Amino acid sequence: VADIEAEIISVGTELLLGQIVDTDAPAMAQTLAECGIVCRQRVTVGDNHERLVALLRAALKRCQVVITIGGLGPTQDDLTREAVAEAMDDSLETVPEVVESLKEFFASRGVKWTESNAKQAQKPTCATHIPNPNGTAPGILCNKQGKIVVCMPGPPGEFLPMLEHSVGPMLAQIGTGQVIFSKSLRVTGMGESAMEAKILDLLASTNPTIAPYAKVSEVHLRLTARAATKFDALKLIEPVEVAVRKRLGSAVYGCDDETLESVVIGMLTSRGLTVSTAESMTGGGLGKRLTSVGGASAVYVGGIVAYSSQLKTAILGVNKDVLQKHGPVSAEVAQHMAENAKELFKADYAISITGNAGPTSDTDGKPIGRVFVGISGPTTRVHEVNLRGTREDIRNRAEYLALRWLREDLLNLNPNG
Ligand code: ATP
Ligand code: MG
């Protein structure tokens, strides 16, 4: 069976200008893959009728399925409906029932009806509407001479539910029946080339394929299989995943949507342990990461942002002489911050971060990027690193490393920990 091919057209001058980021198209691309439909091309076009029509015509020549995102609203610059009708050599008709339901929608929200909104009740004659429970503009499904055009609203709050509940299942039906399914293994503490060296022979696998993606502080290893069903695809992935995990050991910390923070919170929860934070340079960023995980309250008791030396002494009880002698960016201060926070907040673990994130000057002779992270549990470990990048890079990386080192301690990897 020949592959069914699709093209995604994102419509909007805002996208072209870089004022908003296209998050819809990747979600659509993923759905296409899951449906066994090959995505041949993804393009972005401004709110321009002629160019959109030309693009649609070209896409329809190449592919059986064309998907547009955006430009379905009631305003002047929403041109998708008209362009699709023209590209399909069709005309628009108004569906009176949709006008009525739009009027009800407006009335129910106490918004005054303006006639321009009736535009949203139009569709090419070859098309049907796709319900949009989260907004005014319904989606459009055109089916003419073996070609399918799906028009979806741009706002993600409308797009994503429509994808999940209506368009996704419909695409699965037109797909070849083959499913493309991926699983990502998340690897930390091992660079891309070191990782590759360990699994070089496995990379030759074709079903599933294995592809490494270098991220900011970690590497993701994506295993992608093709099979008749998702279940069969998973069965193909499983033995390869086992082999990869065996090679990489505990460097694999999770998969798919798991994050280092969610994994650490999970480990603490299952061990019945609590953690607190004492942050300087990161200004609460570590606390923010921990609290971003649902269920964090079971393990994260809280912490303090002790930015000034005064506060480090007054609240965390860091010894003044130690501060003076070693400076706030030092292993000694990191150690005291962690140990004292653990006592003060009555937690099983405390993490401290102190460092110089730049961008301008040295802090008491400590170069930009010098960071100390203290992890105090049954014993205390202090890590020293020199990080590079912008102020934000350094702060982010420090938070990330703190989580990595806490995980290591929890795994009991460190012989001294
Ligand atoms: P509306 O009825 O709100 O006008 P629409 O279907 O006409 O919706 P657009 O006018 O193209 O969509 O975009 C409306 C808003 O939706 C944009 O300002 C943006 O916030 C969001 N949006 C549009 N396209 C995308 C996209 N591809 N990815 C993420 N957000 C998008
Ligand atoms: Mg619009």
Q: Is the pLDDT of residue 416 over 70?
A: no
Residue 346: is it exposed, middle or buried by C-beta count within 10 angstroms (0-12/13-18/19+)?
exposed
Say how many Å lie between the CA of residue 12 and the centre of ligand 2: 8
Average pLDDT on 100-119 reads 92
Say how many Å lie between the CA of residue 364 and the centre of ligand 2: 54
Grade residue 178 by pLDDT with cuts at 50, 70 and 90.
confident
Grade residue 414 by pLDDT with cuts at 50, 70 and 90.
very low
Ligand closest in space to the Cα of 120: 1
Binding site membership of 12 for ligand 1 (Cβ less than 6 Å) = yes
pLDDT at 232: 92
Phi (first) and psi of residue 11, to 5 degrees = -110, 125
Say how many Å lie between the CA of residue 153 and the centre of ligand 1: 6
Say how many Å lie between the CA of residue 77 and the centre of ligand 2: 7
Nearest atom, ligand 1, residue 22 CA: 28
Grade residue 1 by pLDDT with cuts at 50, 70 and 90.
low
Ligand closest in space to the Cα of 24: 1
Residue in 158, 30, 234, 293 with CA at minimum distance from that of residue 242: 234
Tell me the HSE value of 29 on the side-chain side, using a 13 A CA sphere: 15
Structure confidence by residue, pLDDT tens digits, 268-279: 999 999 999 999
Structure confidence by residue, pLDDT tens digits, 300-351: 999 999 999 999 999 999 999 999 999 999 999 999 999 999 999 999 999 9
Test site for ligand 1: of 15, 43, 79, 122, most ligand atoms within 8 A of the Cβ:
15
Across the strands, what pairs with 372?
Answer: 354, 384
Own/partner pairs for 135-139, CB < 8 Å, 24+ apart?
136/73, 136/74, 136/102, 136/105, 136/106, 137/72, 137/73, 137/74, 137/78, 138/72, 138/98, 139/72, 139/166, 139/167
Structure confidence by residue, pLDDT tens digits, 81-96: 999 999 999 999 999 9
Structure confidence by residue, pLDDT tens digits, 379-394: 999 999 999 999 999 9
Structure confidence by residue, pLDDT tens digits, 12-44: 999 999 999 999 999 999 999 888 899 999 999
Q: Is the pLDDT of residue 245 over 50?
A: yes
Say how many Å lie between the CA of residue 155 and the centre of ligand 1: 4
Grade residue 415 by pLDDT with cuts at 50, 70 and 90.
very low
Report the run of H or E that residue 149 belongs to, with start and end. Answer: strand 147-152
Measured CA to CA, the distance from residue 377 to residue 274 in angstroms comes to: 10
Across the strands, what pairs with 383?
Answer: 373
Task: Identify which has the larger pLDDT, 12 or 2.
Answer: 12
Ligand 1, atom 19, lies closest to the CA of 155
Is cis: bond before 378, omega within 30 of 0? no
Binding site membership of 137 for ligand 1 (Cβ less than 6 Å) = yes
pLDDT at 362: 67
Measured CA to CA, the distance from residue 191 to residue 193 in angstroms comes to: 6
Say how many Å lie between the CA of residue 213 and the centre of ligand 1: 29
Binding site membership of 73 for ligand 1 (Cβ less than 6 Å) = yes
Phi (first) and psi of residue 65, to 5 degrees = -120, 130
Q: Is the pLDDT of residue 51 over 90?
A: yes
Question: pTM for the full model?
Answer: 0.73
Binding site membership of 102 for ligand 1 (Cβ less than 6 Å) = no
Averaged pLDDT of the chain: 94
Ligand closest in space to the Cα of 26: 1
Ligand closest in space to the Cα of 80: 1
Measured CA to CA, the distance from residue 261 to residue 269 in angstroms comes to: 12
- Beta strands 275-279 and 300-305 are parallel
pLDDT at 14: 96
Contact 83, 59 (CB under 8 A): no
Work out the angle at residue 11's Cα, subtended by the Cα atoms of residues 7 and 12, and round it to the nearest 5 degrees.
155
Contact 356, 328 (CB under 8 A): no
Structure confidence by residue, pLDDT tens digits, 65-78: 999 999 999 998 99
Structure confidence by residue, pLDDT tens digits, 211-233: 999 988 999 999 999 888 889 99
Across the strands, what pairs with 218?
Answer: 188
pLDDT at 11: 98
Measured CA to CA, the distance from residue 383 to residue 337 in angstroms comes to: 13
Average pLDDT on 187-193 reads 93
pLDDT at 157: 95
Test site for ligand 1: of 9, 20, 129, 150, most ligand atoms within 8 A of the Cβ:
20
Binding site membership of 327 for ligand 1 (Cβ less than 6 Å) = no
Measured CA to CA, the distance from residue 39 to residue 69 in angstroms comes to: 15
